[in-house]
Structure 1
């Protein structure tokens, strides 16, 4: 893409009330009001009623494609969905959908990559239309919304058996596309994170459950690689 285009990693941070009790960061205390009008240090106080609320700090990373010839104008946003983006009644989902709506109304392209099987449907193309066209046998979905063609979504419905595709990343209108090799990126992340040494492939896959034929394929693949 260079020298005309630059890609920047950006992040948005928000606090979400924890449902899993991982990071106990905040305690809210509700106390009785003192009867006097003055306050002094290190004196006895009436015992409070303690309400403990756990919160998690979430950081989500996305990629911006900027056009240097147009003063670093934002051209494309690439989003990789997180679990909180797909969980009902969460700050992460609320913020994501708001941002998604703003981008779809603008002259910025939107690339959404959902490699999570669980959670609520969240991508921009209407779910009913996706199911009508492709059925419900896909596990993952990638959507590309072009600002110059907003009524046509470019989609990649994928199953666990599919190799991740090389997808087009739209640049400035009339300037074509860049290519993003998703499988190579995931392979590199897997290697850098040493997941082969930390994941127990003898355990069943996490929910939601796979179909029996997919489970059989997964088992055969893991056995072929000596992981089961």
Structure 2
């Protein structure tokens, strides 16, 4: 039984939406999988599907690829400066800058639920990342999402990011900080929406399987708590920074919550050491 909650927040920790997000994303996917596996046996299995994203902000390019395509880095040979002692006048060149080096690919995980007998893809669980919610990355994810919705695969999307573009639905979303979207293959084009307020615990949501098998529950709060228990994000996050795009009331609540947990003073003291 879990005795203490290391995160100062009752639900999602909004400070995870920053430099720790990539690490948290992978850890959260693993926690979800660990929770589901015992509930899926023996008929189903939950597998981690890895993809890589390269985001080039200068060129405004986002690319996603999968690990069956290998990246090979070539070593540079020593460069010999050529002899430029010419007697003929050379016209001055027009110079442009080379693009910056391509950033390292960032790995992201999704959870795929398959039936053991036929290896059939039954449900995809996506944890949205910042790259899924802006620019060309959003368009690429939207195309992938449309491809899944055109099949008989269920799609569960977990959006624990306050910033960025939401997935496109017909109708207005209820106002909330976070959302979970469930598109059942048997109920399309309908999508079930679970709005989550900043001060709320994360909900337990259903994970659909093949008919007539019942849904299995996914306790998102328990998965989040498991991540904090494993890594201790409260020791790594900068609770002294100000969060953008908060109402005055929510900003005051965030400050009071951090102050009550004595985390802000701990972070500031650590910076002074």
TM band (smaller chain)? 0.7 to 0.9
User: 1:16 deviation in Å?
Assistant: 2.3
Aligned to 1:80: 127
Aligned to 2:10: none
TM-score (norm 2): 0.66
| Residue among 189, 194, 199 paired with 1:161 | 199
Aligned Cα root-mean-square deviation (Å)? 2.3
Aligned to 1:15: 54
| Aligned structure 1 segments of 4 or more residues deviating by more than 3 angstroms | 45-50
- Provide the secondary structure at the position in 1 that maps to 2:98: strand
Aligned to 2:221: 183
Matches within 5 A, 1:1-228: 1-19=40-58, 44=82, 50-56=97-103, 57-69=105-117, 71-88=118-135, 90=136, 92-122=137-167, 125-126=169-170, 129-131=171-173, 134=174, 136=175, 138-205=176-243, 207=244, 209-228=245-264
Give unpaired runs (5+ residues) of structure 2.
Answer: 1-39, 60-78, 85-92, 265-273
- Provide the secondary structure at the position in 2 that maps to 1:65: strand
- Provide the secondary structure at the position in 1 that maps to 2:144: helix
CA distance in 1, matches of 2:134, 2:231: 25
With a CA cutoff of 8 Å and minimum separation of 6, indicate the structure with the bigger relative contact order: 2
- Counterparts in 2 of 1:107 and 1:212: CA distance versus 1, 3 Å: same
- Provide the secondary structure at the position in 2 that maps to 1:190: helix
- Provide the secondary structure at the position in 1 that maps to 2:246: coil
Contact 1:6 1:65 in 2 (8 A): yes
- Whose strand fraction is larger, Structure 1's or Structure 2's? 1
Q: What count of residue pairs does the alignment treat as equivalent?
A: 196
Contact 1:17 1:54 in 2 (8 A): no
- Provide the secondary structure at the position in 2 that maps to 1:204: coil
CA distance in 2, matches of 1:167, 1:130: 21
